[in-house]
Amino acid sequence: MTMLLEPPIRAEYERTIEAGPGGALARPAPLSSRIAGLSWLRKGLVLLVLALLWEGLGRWQDSDLLLPTFLQTAAALWSGLVSGELLANVAVSLSVLLQGYLAGIVLAFALTALAVSTRIGRDLLETLTSMFNPLPAIALLPLALLWFGLGRGSLIFVIVHSVLWPLALNTYAGFRGVPDTLRMAGRNYGLGGLRLVLQVLVPAALPSILSGLKIGWAFAWRTLIAAELVFGATSGKGGLGWYIFQNRNELYTDKVFAGLALVILIGLVMENLVFRVLERVTVLRWGMQR
């Protein structure tokens, strides 16, 4: 015989809800969780641990030539910055970098705007990115030197190449991911062509565009430093890659490390100040990314 489960019958009740909540609706979070919520503090901690490991490893290795310690590198970085030698090289590198980066952004925007507006533009973009995106920018440098001569022009050419394709690919993917409803709403209000791209597609695709900008920035840096390492004298004024290359030749390993550390520091500043702030005032505020 099976027992059929019967839930018990209970008494009913009704309550009147008093106006206003009994306790406060929101209360401050405890201090410990607020401190743990500070991302710069957590990241700073990671950096500190890495620096300590480096210092320990350097002392244990005990060889200035192969692995200068963290403190030695910091001293070399400091004296390089104070003497102005490093800053001058950074200025040369950054100015070339920014020119190439901006030119790459403009070209990528033009190409993707064309791609979302016309079918032939789409074919053009898809073909070009699949051809050129896998091609290392640095491999084009010998050709660029032939075309544009020794100097800024060649460096900017390879940087544009390294920024343009990944950024165009990301931006285009972002444009294609924009919900149809949003597109139709824009068209409904009379937007079309470039106005639709600027007022609807670009902000709607901003998460992808920002990640494309980040990738483009990293690629541009890598390409520039590599180009300067190999053909550093070409620009006539050095640059950060040239600084690293020259000091390696003269076996100033601490200065080599200082140059590398500066490349990393600039990357950290760019990521945590520029891109992070850009994200905070846009996609994070709009709830498009978390």
Q: Identify which of residues 118 and 289 has a Cβ nearer to other proteins in the complex.
A: 289
The angle formed by the CA atoms of residues 263, 279 and 107, to the nearest 5 degrees, is: 70
Rounded to a whole number of angstroms, the minimum distance from the CB of residue 285 to other proteins is: 7
Which range of residues in 20-28, 95-103, 188-196, 245-253 is near other proteins by CB under 8 A? 188-196
Task: Report the residue from 189, 251, 265, 280 that binds other proteins according to the rule CB under 8 A.
Answer: 189
Q: Identify which of residues 169 and 204 has a Cβ nearer to other proteins in the complex.
A: 204
User: Taking the CB of residue 227, how many other CB atoms lie within 10 A of it?
Assistant: 28
Binding of other proteins at residue 25 (CB under 8 A)? no
Binding of other proteins at residue 199 (CB under 8 A)? yes
Binding of other proteins at residue 280 (CB under 8 A)? no
Q: How many residues bind other proteins (CB under 8 A)?
A: 22
183-216: buried (b, 16+ CB within 10 Å) or exposed (e) per residue?
beebeeeebeeeebbeebbbebbbbbbbbbbbbb
In sign, the C-alpha dihedral spanning 216, 135, 126, 194 is positive
User: Helices then strands (H, E): number in the chain?
Assistant: 14, 0
Is 219 in contact with 169 (CB distance < 8 Å)?
Answer: no
Rounded to a whole number of angstroms, the minimum distance from the CB of residue 280 to other proteins is: 13
Calpha distance 136→219 (Å, rounded): 10
Q: Identify which of residues 188 and 249 has a Cβ nearer to other proteins in the complex.
A: 188
User: In residues, how long is the chain?
Assistant: 290
Rounded to a whole number of angstroms, the minimum distance from the CB of residue 182 to other proteins is: 6
Binding of other proteins at residue 284 (CB under 8 A)? no
Is 240 in contact with 90 (CB distance < 8 Å)?
Answer: yes
Residues 126-185 contacting other proteins, CB under 8 A = 179, 181-182, 184-185
Rounded to a whole number of angstroms, the minimum distance from the CB of residue 167 to other proteins is: 20
Binding of other proteins at residue 194 (CB under 8 A)? no
Binding of other proteins at residue 119 (CB under 8 A)? no
In sign, the C-alpha dihedral spanning 54, 57, 63, 65 is negative
Rounded to a whole number of angstroms, the minimum distance from the CB of residue 68 to other proteins is: 48
The angle formed by the CA atoms of residues 132, 137 and 138, to the nearest 5 degrees, is: 145
Which range of residues in 136-144, 187-195, 246-254, 263-271 is near other proteins by CB under 8 A? 187-195
Binding of other proteins at residue 80 (CB under 8 A)? no
Rounded to a whole number of angstroms, the minimum distance from the CB of residue 25 to other proteins is: 16
**Which residue in this structure is represented by tokens 């022009």?**
153
In sign, the C-alpha dihedral spanning 226, 227, 232, 238 is negative
Calpha distance 151→228 (Å, rounded): 11
Task: Report the residue from 51, 91, 114, 191 that binds other proteins according to the rule CB under 8 A.
Answer: 191
- Comparing C-alpha atoms, which of 257, 246, 283 is closest to residue 58? 257
The 206-245 contact track toward other proteins, x by CB under 8 A, reads x---------------------------------------
Rounded to a whole number of angstroms, the minimum distance from the CB of residue 189 to other proteins is: 4
The footprint of other proteins (CB under 8 A) covers 179, 181-182, 184-191, 195, 199-200, 203-204, 206, 282, 285-288
